[in-house]
Structure 1
Amino acid sequence: MEISDDTVVTLSYKLYSAAGELIEETSQPITYLHGDHHGIFPKIEDALTEKRAGDSCSVALEPEDAFGEYDAELVRVEAQDRFPADVKVGMQFEDTSGENDEEVRVFTVTDIAEGRVVVDGNHPLAGQRLRFDCTVLDVRAATPDELEHGHVHGPGAHH
């Protein structure tokens, strides 16, 4: 079966920096609903259309195709007393105070000094050019429930 809109795709992948350094590799296959359901970046989805199980592809991603440009306005310096006493670099906190109540932004603590905590709301890969190499492991028709909910149900489902 070919990948097309409203098919469920299972794949393995490796994500590389522009310099060719491995950033991430699937330990378990991921599964998503193909066809503008926001399960995977659109440029990757386009490259996978009409592929079959066993096919591979490599997709070059500019920042706007993946995690967006780095936004300096998402770096904030806050008073340390606004955080738990055990706050450490690398901890993450959710902020739901954006324009859309459903939008949650994750901020990562990047520095702590002199009673201040620096948090960054950018994705760690924001502003980076990437390469996504993947192999299609399985393709199947989506169930009516999956289409209604807009995502895959079951093992390996990727939201």
Structure 2
Amino acid sequence: MQQVKKGDKVKVHYHGKLTDGTTFDSSAGREPLEFEVGGGMVIPGFDNGVTGMAIGEKKTIHIPVAEAYGPKQEDMIMDFPKDRFPDDMVPEVGMQLNMSNGAGQHIPVRIVAIKDEVVVLDANHPLAGEDLVFDLELVAIEGGSPLIIMP
């Protein structure tokens, strides 16, 4: 029975939850997630979780913060003056925005608080600081690069 190893391209159905059971993402009703194991395309804990699985196998994995999106970084939370927002924009907690750093890079941020003169923006990944739980089902394995063994 073929098992997933580093370099394999795999297709996986998943249901991602926080430790309190809140769903944050799922492939239900969509095509399975397709990626190369060990290729840096998914968080390390997800790569590790599918390694060794066989086609049709289902399992639940628990991914600690360090193997997910890392801890929340306080230096990624900033006060932004309200008067720098466009006049026609009404900031609301939870609103997703893109900031530009002046060098043409766009940084996704989320409004986490609104104060008298400033809006508090969080540039951390929304799942930073969270342990994650995934229900996985391995759908397919497409082997990595073929090896040629010379006699």
Is TM (by shorter chain) over 0.5?
A: yes
Q: CA shift at 1:96, angstroms?
A: 4.4
Structure with greater Cα Rg: 2
Question: Could you tell me which residue of structure 1 aligns to residue 37 of structure 2?
Answer: 34
Q: Name the % identity.
A: 21
Offset of residue 12 of structure 1: 1.0
Length-normalised TM-score, structure 2: 0.77
Instruction: Give yes or no for contact 2:5–2:51 (8 Å, CA) kept in 1.
Output: yes
Paired position in structure 1 for 2:98:
93
Q: TM-score, normalised by structure 1?
A: 0.74
Q: Could you say what the CA RMSD is over the residues aligned between the two structures, in angstroms? A: 2.6
What CA distance in whole angstroms lies between the structure 1 residues aligned with 2:66 and 2:97?
24
- Please say if 1:20 is aligned against 2:10: no
Shift of 1:22: 2.6
CA gap of 1:18–1:109, structure 2 versus 1, over 3 A, is: same
Q: Distance in 1 between matches of 2:108 and 2:60?
A: 29
Q: After TM superposition, what 4+ stretches of structure 1 lie above 4 angstroms from structure 2? A: 101-104
| 1:18, distance to aligned residue in structure 2 (A) | 1.4
Query: What letter matches 2:21 in structure 1?
Result: G
Length, aligned pairs only? 140
For 1:32 and 1:103, how far apart are their aligned partners in 2?
Answer: 26
Matched position secondary structure for 2:15: strand
Q: Distance in 1 between matches of 2:15 and 2:129?
A: 19
- Aligned amino acid, residue 108 of structure 1: R
CA distance in 2, matches of 1:120, 1:46: 29
Stretches of structure 1 lacking an aligned partner (at least 5 in a row):
145-159
Cα drift, residue 93 of structure 1: 1.2
Q: Which of these residues, 62, 66, 78, is aligned with residue 64 of structure 1?
A: 66
Q: In the TM superposition, what is the alpha-carbon distance from 1:94 to its structure 2 partner?
A: 3.8
Whole-angstrom distance in 2 between the partners of 1:110 and 1:43: 27
2:120 is aligned to 118
Q: Give, in angstroms, the shift of residue 47 of structure 1.
A: 2.5
User: Structure 2: which 5+ residue stretches go unaligned?
Assistant: 147-151
Shift of residue 103 of structure 1? 7.7
Q: How does 1:68-147 map to 2 (within 5 A)?
A: 68-85=70-87, 86-89=89-92, 90-96=95-101, 105-142=107-144
CA shift, 1:117, in A, is 1.6
C-alpha contact (below 8 Å) 1:41/1:65 kept by paired residues: yes
